């Protein structure tokens, strides 16, 4: 009985392998047909060797003029960046100012995103800082920056910022 079962399994495996081989042959034949279609569709395109005989002369004056225009444009962009960012070396500011204020108000209080601070009095600056910290003046960025600062820190910032105009004049700007 076991021999009959083994023989049946062997016959089924043989039939399955024949069907599998037939499928592989049909797929192989399809690939050959695709290859023939591709070969038939290829076309030879003759390429002409045209020599370029005319060489355009470059006018030195136009090149110099173009270079000068590019240099002027770069100089204008650089000047614009300097105005917006402030001169870093103009005068020193405290690490507290750099950390809390300079990204919006500029390295020297000239204003970037935030308003210009240079030229404001110590009392006006202090009152604004207190109002932002308490929430009396609404500005979430300022509120977030000032919430963990002490009253002493606010006074230090106010005093420092109020001296920016004098420092700028001393630096010769």
Task: Provide the residue range defining the domain that includes 11.
Answer: 1-37
Domain for residue 74, yes or no? no
115: domain CATH number is 1.10.760.10
| CA dist., res. 129 & res. 127, Å (int) | 5
Residues 88 and 27 in one domain: no
The string of pLDDT tens digits covering residues 1-28 is 888 899 889 898 888 888 888 888 888 8
**DSSP code at position 112:** S
Domain for residue 22, yes or no? yes
Residues 92 and 160 in one domain: yes
Half-sphere exposure in the Cβ direction for 123 (13 Å, CA): 0
Domain for residue 4, yes or no? yes
Domain for residue 164, yes or no? yes
Number of domains, the chain: 2
- Report whether pLDDT(152) > 90: yes
Domain for residue 76, yes or no? no
| CA dist., res. 90 & res. 103, Å (int) | 16
| CA dist., res. 29 & res. 45, Å (int) | 30
The string of pLDDT tens digits covering residues 81-126 is 665 555 455 678 888 888 888 888 888 888 888 888 888 899 998 9
Contact 139, 132 (CB under 8 A): yes
**DSSP code at position 116:** P
Domain for residue 142, yes or no? yes
């Amino acid at each position: 009985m076991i021999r009959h079962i083994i023989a049946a399994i062997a016959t089924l495996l043989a039939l399955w392998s024949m069907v599998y081989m037939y499928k592989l042959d049909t797929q192989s034949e399809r690939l050959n047909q695709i290859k023939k279609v591709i070969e038939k569709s290829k076309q030879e395109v003759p390429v002409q060797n045209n020599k370029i005989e005319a060489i355009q002369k470059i006018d030195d004056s136009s090149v110099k003029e173009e270079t000068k225009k590019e240099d002027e444009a770069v100089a204008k962009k650089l000047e614009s960046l300097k105005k917006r960012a402030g001169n870093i070396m103009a005068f020193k500011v405290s690490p507290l100012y750099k950390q809390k204020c300079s990204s919006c108000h500029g390295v020297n209080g000239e204003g970037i995103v935030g308003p210009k601070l240079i030229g404001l009095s110590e009392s006006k600056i202090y009152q604004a800082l207190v109002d932002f910290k308490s929430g009396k003046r609404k500005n979430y960025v300022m509120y977030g920056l000032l919430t963990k600062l002490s009253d002493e820190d606010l006074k230090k910032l106010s005093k420092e910022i109020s001296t920016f105009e004098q420092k700028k004049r001393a630096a010769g700007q």
